[in-house]
Amino acid sequence: MQLRYSYRVYPTPGQQIALARAFGCARVVYNDALAARMEAFGKGERISDTELSKRLTASKATPDRAWLGEVSSVVLQQALADLNTAYRNFFASISGKRKGARVGLPRFRSRRDSRQAIRFTKNARFAVTVGGKLRLPKIGEVRVAWSRNLPSDPSSVTVIKDAAGRYFASFVVQTDGQPLPELDTEVGIDLGLTTFAVLSNGKTIDSPRFLRRAERRLRKAQQALSRKEKGSKNRAKARG
């Protein structure tokens, strides 16, 4: 069973610059690949994942995209993987194979997005040092606020910057499915946007959906009320 453990990380000013560069490069690669897919679709053609990867490698040799070589190549390949996953989720959604709310077509990413993220897999050779820091290629050793030990070696780590400017490292680890031991220590709660809360023990709690559903119902009811003629029985009924 795969679990995700999230921790606050505190990059230095120099590391924040390196992370911003990596966020930007991943975003450009994602958007370039999306534009290529859209162009191919408009021509009635299909472009493979392999072709997109080859184009990425070729673009790094051009003057316009040479700066892509300043970040880990794994980060760039994972940006392509994210786009591929987005398309698979879209097609699975419209075919009914994917449960839940309908997923729309992938959209271009903006530097103004409130959440920026990059992912490192084992191929990137990231590591947790003996001193407890997270070593990331072309970024350095980042300080981590560990609240508990990882149960096994992580298969990947996603570095996230949220709307509040905070940084997180989210590790994916493989476990044997046994329940985690209880802690005698207190657990802190860090409220967030993409998740309802991140506990200091690494556990994440999804955002509750009932409030959003209630807000949507209220908004629709208010819109319906505004369309009723003032003083009419229908308006009084809608108000009640």
Q: What is the pLDDT along the chain (240 residues), one digit of tens a residue?
A: 889 999 999 999 999 999 999 999 999 999 999 999 999 989 999 899 899 999 999 999 999 999 999 999 999 999 999 999 998 888 888 888 877 778 888 899 998 898 999 999 999 999 999 999 999 999 999 999 999 999 999 999 999 999 999 999 999 998 776 655 565 555 555 555 555 565 655 566 665 555 566 667 777 777 777 777 777 777 666 666
Token match 């897999």: residue? Answer: 121
- β-pairing verdict for 189-191 and 116-121: unpaired
Residue 17: closest CA among 126, 148, 161 = 161
| pLDDT score at 35 | 95
pLDDT for position 96: 80
